[in-house]
Amino acid sequence: VQSRSFLKRPLFGFRSRSSQSSALDMATATLEPIQASDLQGLEFPPQVTEPMSPSEKAELREERRAAMKPDWPLPKNTNVINALKGEEVEAVPVWMMRQAGRYLPEFRAVRAGSEFLKVCQDPGLASEVTVQPRRRYPELDACIIFSDILVVPQAMGQPLQMLPNRGPVFDWRLESPEDIKKLDLTPDVEDSLGYVFDAMYLTKKKVDNEVPIFGFCGAPWTILGYMVEGEGSRTWAETKRWLYDYPEESHKLLEAISRLSAKYLIGQWDSGAQMLQVFDTNAGVLPPHLYEEFGAKYMRMIADLVKAERPQALIVGFPKDMPLASFNDSSYDGIGLSWTADVQEMRERFPNKTLQGNMDAHILYANKDAIRKATHEMVKEFGKKRYVANLGHGMEPRMDPEHAKAFIQSIKEASSELE
């Protein structure tokens, strides 16, 4: 009942392709933007809605480049850091995948004035939406920098657009290995992705070192999928065909993406990130032996390359729905789990790793008592040691911020009931 009345609020006007909204619409449909005139009605109004000027951007860039360093002082809240190191935590740490997203009215207020990619490329706006979730939920133990995994192929020469009701679409796609020639496999990471480092650095200043900030990138297998399909896909059949038809060229590309991604993560680290996450959202679409060869191998390569240069870096790998045992011997500190994972089984499979996850995100559409009950059960099952609470999937536009609050607060309640 709660969530239905919530959906009727005009703030959450909902536009779908057909008059009957389907399950797909639920996850991806566009919500009406919030205009500047509505801002005063917001409970947590954005502090920044205007992009930075070119001179402000240039000044920030200069400052950030001079400030980059491999070691930043520990934040006040070290729960996630301690959990990833396998040390004692004060309370079970929690953050939510896609915590900065359209379910937040304050996020939509920023997005109303600026396209998605413009927000990513403007450090003032990107840092604003990165810190928004903590303004609303001070219990959150981390921020994750606002960007997207697809900025990496964009840096390699595939221009990206974020289309309403459709999601990410590239201007052109890799139809055959011939098309690899159109890419720059070794772009300069500072020139092509320095805007993310700027956003990280400015966010670092804004959070005043209260909590750590996650940097992230997509895993090569998931990135290759978007590069080949040109957009999202239900089956990723065309990308799977690539692996079978062009194994050598696929390996070449996956390795190039891995090397660039490692440099990109190191740049985020040096700009102030204190944890890094590699998202392999499409891991579960491959048979395990193929995922080992074309997916897990490159996930491990990224972590190895980062740790070779920044041994102190803390990294979480999220091989969604395909948590192969080989990850226990990888240099990842944490393994992300989706709701399809069995907790006991995963604890046995990954005795050396911190586990992160794995609430079924769709429980946030249900009532708060159901959310509280399931959250308590989850925390009890994972325990307080080597655990970072999260959803097994990202927040969706139509989820109720009050339900997210119930999830976060239940994590802390359940944690205080543990030894």
Ligand X SMILES: Cc1c2[nH]c(c1CCC(=O)O)Cc1[nH]c(c(CCC(=O)O)c1C)Cc1[nH]c(c(CCC(=O)O)c1C)Cc1[nH]c(c(C)c1CCC(=O)O)C2
Q: Which parts of this chain interact with ligand X (CB under 6 A)?
A: 28, 97-102, 111, 116, 144, 146, 148-150, 162, 167-168, 216, 232, 279, 281, 394
Asked, as a colleague might, if the bond just before 358 is cis with ω within 30 of 0, I would say: yes
Cα separation of 320 and 233, whole Å? Answer: 16
Catalytic residue among 64, 102, 108, 134: 102
For residues 78 and 99, which CB has a smaller minimum distance to ligand X in the complex? 99
For residues 160 and 384, which CB has a smaller minimum distance to ligand X in the complex? 160
Catalytic residue among 148, 280, 333, 400: 148
Residue 178, judged by CB atoms within 10 A of its CB (0-12, 13-18, 19+), counts as exposed
Helix axes 54-67, 189-207, angle to 10 degrees: 90
Neighbours of 271 (CB within 10 A): 26
* Active-site residue, 226 included: yes
Catalytic residue among 25, 103, 108, 111: 111
Please report how close the Cβ of residue 35 comes to ligand X at its closest, in angstroms.
Answer: 16
The number of C-alpha atoms within 13 Å of 142 and in the hemisphere containing its C-beta is 32
* Active-site residue, 148 included: yes
For residues 216 and 242, which CB has a smaller minimum distance to ligand X in the complex? 216
For residues 46 and 384, which CB has a smaller minimum distance to ligand X in the complex? 46
For residues 102 and 368, which CB has a smaller minimum distance to ligand X in the complex? 102
CA nearest neighbour of 275 among 61, 68, 82: 82
Catalytic residue among 103, 201, 226, 298: 226
| Segment (H or E) for 169 | strand 167-170
CB 233 within 8 A of CB 102: no
Helix axes 247-270, 297-309, angle to 10 degrees: 30
Please report how close the Cβ of residue 222 comes to ligand X at its closest, in angstroms.
Answer: 6
Catalytic residue among 98, 136, 349, 372: 98
Please report how close the Cβ of residue 283 comes to ligand X at its closest, in angstroms.
Answer: 10
* Active-site residue, 98 included: yes
* Active-site residue, 102 included: yes
Please report how close the Cβ of residue 232 comes to ligand X at its closest, in angstroms.
Answer: 5
Cα separation of 224 and 400, whole Å? Answer: 33
Please report how close the Cβ of residue 133 comes to ligand X at its closest, in angstroms.
Answer: 7
Cα separation of 16 and 397, whole Å? Answer: 12
Residues annotated catalytic, as ranges: 98, 102, 111, 148, 226
